[in-house]
């Protein structure tokens, strides 16, 4: 791996930094929108990214991209997440980072023509309908049913933890189309319009005080057969594309770089009596976090570099996800401890240091080791694919 960014990459980083400073007012770092105002702000910002071709810059030109490298795209994501800005069509870049690439890899020509341009233009928001009450880590256990009826499927079932459902135009769903087949072989991958009759959702309150994710219900929802992605009953293999893409850690790297910079700036403003001078444990911990972020950053760029080399990242993405999410929790812990009682104040509380972001981030990052596949599951993948151990 080449650890240097090209001069053009470095110039692009400066360009996107200047753009973010001018165009993005700041956010909370939560990937899910929980108000109309946030939604409008994110849409307007993403359209500006799209106008510059930055939203899908690593996509091929024929699908609305710029044919740029994945490293360049990772720079864009890192800088956006550093500024707590969105990166593309739903939580964590659902549309640009997951659905678009899955459609490119498995879609028909008609699907590519129909679904990719609105994503590249920043016009649509997607959410993910994979998990169910009895299918999380064991995702192939999904029970939502997709029954063939003429040229359509009829969808019935219950999804859970659907980030961003209330603000999504589309949802990508894993559903059981052959209940008799072995569990991995009877699943189909459907692309469903969220305005379809029979879809409802209700928010799941989070400990951060926000409502970014939902339970989603499908009751006799008719899905045209044209919206089947890949082959019927072979949706599991399409899902493995999406799941792999979800794990690269670059978004979280940008976020924790920002948290550490904010914390270091804050402690620098404290009076000498409170500042963590040598040999304060906080001072040493901040340095330790700086080292971890450096490691996390290169693990994430390694995934992008592999993609540019034409290799589909495998356990490398799990290594990146596992390391950065645990580093994030350690940093969040340091932040609330370093700020004392005030560090636990809620977001926006009067007098809260860092506007309450330390306490908020502590709560927010709690799910990072769970969402996008738990870290135990990532460790299983690393053991199996990275170390050649038997399947766990």
Ligand X SMILES: Cc1cc2nc3c(=O)[nH]c(=O)nc-3n(C[C@H](O)[C@H](O)[C@H](O)COP(=O)(O)OP(=O)(O)OC[C@H]3O[C@@H](n4cnc5c(N)ncnc54)[C@H](O)[C@@H]3O)c2cc1C
What are the catalytic residues?
246
Q: Is 320 in the site for ligand X (CB under 6 A)?
A: no
| Choices 115-123, 159-167, 275-283, 354-362 (CB under 6 A): range interacting with ligand X | 159-167
Q: Is 189 in the site for ligand X (CB under 6 A)?
A: no
Q: Which of 335, 306, 170 is nearest to 245 (CA)?
A: 306
Distance, CA of 342 to CA of 101 (rounded, Å): 43
Q: Is 136 in the site for ligand X (CB under 6 A)?
A: yes
Annotate the chain with three-state secondary structure.
Answer: CCCCCCHHHHHHHHHHHHHHHHHCCCCCCCCCCCCHHHHHHHHHHHHHHHHCCCCCCCCCHHHCCCCCCHHHHHHHHHHHHHCCCCCCCCCCCHHHHHHHHHHHHHCCHHHHHHHHHHHHCCCCCEEEECCECCECCCHHHCCCEEEEECCEEEEEEEEEEEECHHHCCEEEEEEECCCCCCHHHCEEEEEEECCCCCEEEEEECCCCCCCCEEEEEEEEEEEEHHHEECCCCEHHHHHHHHHHHHCCCHHHHHHHHHHHHHHHHHHHHCCCCCCCCCCCHHHHHHHHHHHHHHHHHHHHHHHHHHHHCCCCCCHHHHHHHHHHHHHHHHHHHHHHHHCHHHHHCCCCCCCCHHHHHHHHHHHHHHHHHCCCCCHHHHHHHHHHHHCCCCCC
Q: Is 361 in the site for ligand X (CB under 6 A)?
A: no
User: Would you say 41 or 380 has its CB closer to ligand X?
Assistant: 380
The count of other CB atoms within 10 Å of the CB of residue 278 is: 6
User: Would you say 137 or 149 has its CB closer to ligand X?
Assistant: 137
**Minimal distance, residue 329 CB to ligand X, in Å:** 13
User: Would you say 242 or 334 has its CB closer to ligand X?
Assistant: 242
User: Would you say 57 or 245 has its CB closer to ligand X?
Assistant: 245
Q: Are the C-beta atoms of 82 and 17 separated by less than 8 Å?
A: no
**Minimal distance, residue 46 CB to ligand X, in Å:** 18
| Choices 150-158, 247-255, 340-348, 370-378 (CB under 6 A): range interacting with ligand X | 370-378
Q: Is 183 in the site for ligand X (CB under 6 A)?
A: no
Question: Hey, which residues between 263 and 302 contact ligand X (CB under 6 A)?
Answer: none
Candidate list 367, 384, 385, 386; residue touching ligand X; CB under 6 A: 367
User: Would you say 349 or 384 has its CB closer to ligand X?
Assistant: 384
Q: Is 376 in the site for ligand X (CB under 6 A)?
A: yes
Q: Is 203 in the site for ligand X (CB under 6 A)?
A: no
Q: Is 329 in the site for ligand X (CB under 6 A)?
A: no
Q: Is 213 in the site for ligand X (CB under 6 A)?
A: yes
Question: Hey, which residues between 223 and 262 contact ligand X (CB under 6 A)?
Answer: none
| Choices 62-70, 124-132, 290-298, 300-308 (CB under 6 A): range interacting with ligand X | 124-132
User: Would you say 235 or 373 has its CB closer to ligand X?
Assistant: 373
Distance, CA of 146 to CA of 132 (rounded, Å): 15
Candidate list 6, 14, 51, 137; residue touching ligand X; CB under 6 A: 137
Distance, CA of 342 to CA of 88 (rounded, Å): 34
| Choices 125-133, 225-233, 294-302, 310-318 (CB under 6 A): range interacting with ligand X | 125-133
User: Would you say 174 or 260 has its CB closer to ligand X?
Assistant: 174
**Minimal distance, residue 382 CB to ligand X, in Å:** 12
Q: Is 380 in the site for ligand X (CB under 6 A)?
A: yes
Q: Are the C-beta atoms of 101 and 245 separated by less than 8 Å?
A: yes
Q: Is 130 in the site for ligand X (CB under 6 A)?
A: yes
How many residues bind ligand X (CB under 6 A)? The answer is 20
Candidate list 161, 218, 315, 362; residue touching ligand X; CB under 6 A: 161
Residues that bind ligand X (CB under 6 A): 127-131, 136-137, 161-163, 213, 367, 370-371, 373-374, 376-377, 380, 392
């Amino acid at each position: 791996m080449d650890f240097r960014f090209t001069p053009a990459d470095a110039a692009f980083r400066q360009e996107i930094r200047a753009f973010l400073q001018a165009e993005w007012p700041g956010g909370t770092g939560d990937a899910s929108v929980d108000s109309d105002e946030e939604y409008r702000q994110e849409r307007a910002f993403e359209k500006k990214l799209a106008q510059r071709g930055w939203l899908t810059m690593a996509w091929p030109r024929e699908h609305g991209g710029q044919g740029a490298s994945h490293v360049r795209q990772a720079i864009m994501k890192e800088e956006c997440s550093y500024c707590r800005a969105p990166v593309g069509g739903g939580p964590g870049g659902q549309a640009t980072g997951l659905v678009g690439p899955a459609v490119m890899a498995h879609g028909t020509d008609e699907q590519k023509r129909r679904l990719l341009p609105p994503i590249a233009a920043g016009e649509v928001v997607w959410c993910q309908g994979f998990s169910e009450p009895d299918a999380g880590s064991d995702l192939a256990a999904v029970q939502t049913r997709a029954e063939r009826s003429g040229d359509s499927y009829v969808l019935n079932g219950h999804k859970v933890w659907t980030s961003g459902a209330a603000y999504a135009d589309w949802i990508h769903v894993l559903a059981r189309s052959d209940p008799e087949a072995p569990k991995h072989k009877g699943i189909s991958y459907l692309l469903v319009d969220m305005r379809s009759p029979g879809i409802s959702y209700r928010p799941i309150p989070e400990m951060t005080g926000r409502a970014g994710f939902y339970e989603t219900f499908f009751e006799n929802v008719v899905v045209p057969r044209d919206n089947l992605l890949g082959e019927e009953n072979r949706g599991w293999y399409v899902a493995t594309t999406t799941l792999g893409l979800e794990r690269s850690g670059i978004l979280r790297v940008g976020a924790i770089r920002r948290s550490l910079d904010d914390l270091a700036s804050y402690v620098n403003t404290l009076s000498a009596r409170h500042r963590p001078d040598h040999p304060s444990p906080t001072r040493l911990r901040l340095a330790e976090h700086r080292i971890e972020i450096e490691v996390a950053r290169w693990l994430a760029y390694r995934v992008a570099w592999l993609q540019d080399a034409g290799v589909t990242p495998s356990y490398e993405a799990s290594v990146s996800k596992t390391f950065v999410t645990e580093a994030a929790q350690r940093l969040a812990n340091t932040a609330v401890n370093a700020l004392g009682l005030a560090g636990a104040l809620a977001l926006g509380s009067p007098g809260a240091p860092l506007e309450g972001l330390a306490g908020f981030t502590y709560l927010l990052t709690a799910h990072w080791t769970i969402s996008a596949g738990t870290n135990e599951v990532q460790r299983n993948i690393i053991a199996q694919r990275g170390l050649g151990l038997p399947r766990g």
